[in-house]
Structure 1
Amino acid sequence: MEWLEPGYAALFFLSFIAASLLPLGSEWLLLLMLSQGFSPLYTIVFATAGNTLGSYLNYALGYWAHEWLHKKNKLQGAGWQKAESWFQRYGVWSLLLAWMPVVGDPLTLLAGVLKAPWKRVCTLIFISKSGRYLVVFLLYWMAN
């Protein structure tokens, strides 16, 4: 029951928090754990699960906050219009960029505010986040 080791829980929670709008990263812990002999499969699974669920929370917050933001006129202004038109232009497929630092987390929130279809959002975020951690692992593996 190796997956019960505390390191995996720490990786999950750090990855979850890293998906918020806070400027955190979880790749460093993933790399540290790999260098300490932790299972590559479990590290990728726990990091992906935490980061994906964190992005789902961003989507849900945006979805539920839509009415409040509208009432408070927070969905006005050039910045909002630019973000909305960008998302409308590229659609939910833009969520394949959810893995990117700085851009990805607000993008998942925006998808919620614009009430993008939940199933497609979940699928695209999962693909994006799992790809991110798989690439980090592959780079580590190639370097060692």
Structure 2
Amino acid sequence: MEFFTDTFGLWSLFGSAFVSATLAPGGSEVVLAYLVSRSELSPEVLLLTATSGNTLGAVTTWLLGFLTAMKYPAERVAEPRRQKAIASVRKWGLPILLFSWLPVVGDGFCFAAGWLRLPFWLSVLVIAAGKALRYAAIVYAFV
């Protein structure tokens, strides 16, 4: 029974982290905090699971931006919120992706990075680093 509970907990955390990093709202921090404080799973496994799911969700958003750029170049963006995200990514480049975990604007940074065709693997690396640091702080707070 413990295997089932642990497996379900990991998949729930991964799914919550993935959805939280796409354009849909989510609350993976709560799931992580609960599992860290109540689960028999190691904090390292939980950290890796949350970071992986959240990074893959952000990569999905990056890819959506990349695909959108094929039909709508960044120069033709009319929506002010997207213009702001694009301007921030243009100004700060890859380092802004360290903040891709921020609510609301983080998704915009990932989308804009794809739209502006920032280097894919470097984007993934920086996104993963930012997300790992955020989740590490949560794990540390609840161990």
Which band: TM-score by shorter chain?
0.7 to 0.9
Aligned residue in 1 for 2:62: 59
Aligned residue in 2 for 1:95: 97
Aligned residue in 2 for 1:76: 78
Aligned residue in 2 for 1:30: 32
TM superposition shift of 1:51: 0.2
| 1-structure distance, mates of 2:56, 2:86 | 23
User: What is the RMSD of the two structures over their aligned residues, measured on CA atoms?
Assistant: 2.3
Which aligned pairs between 1:83-122 and structure 2 lie closer than 5 A? 83-122=85-124
TM superposition shift of 1:26: 0.3
1:45 matched to 2:48? The reply is: yes
| Contact 1:3/1:42, CA 8 A, preserved across alignment | no
CA distance 1:14–1:77, change in 2 (3 Å): closer
| Contact 2:33/2:139, CA 8 A, preserved across alignment | yes
Count of paired positions:
140
| 1-structure distance, mates of 2:76, 2:89 | 17
1:124 matched to 2:137? The reply is: no
After superposition, give the CA deviation of every residue in 1:86-137 in whole Å (9 maximum; x if it has no partner): 2211111110111111111111011001111112101100101111110111
For normalisation by structure 1, the TM-score amounts to: 0.86
Instruction: Give 5+ residue unaligned stretches, structure 1.
Output: none
Amino acid at match of 2:34: L
| Contact 1:93/1:124, CA 8 A, preserved across alignment | yes
* Percent sequence identity over aligned pairs: 31
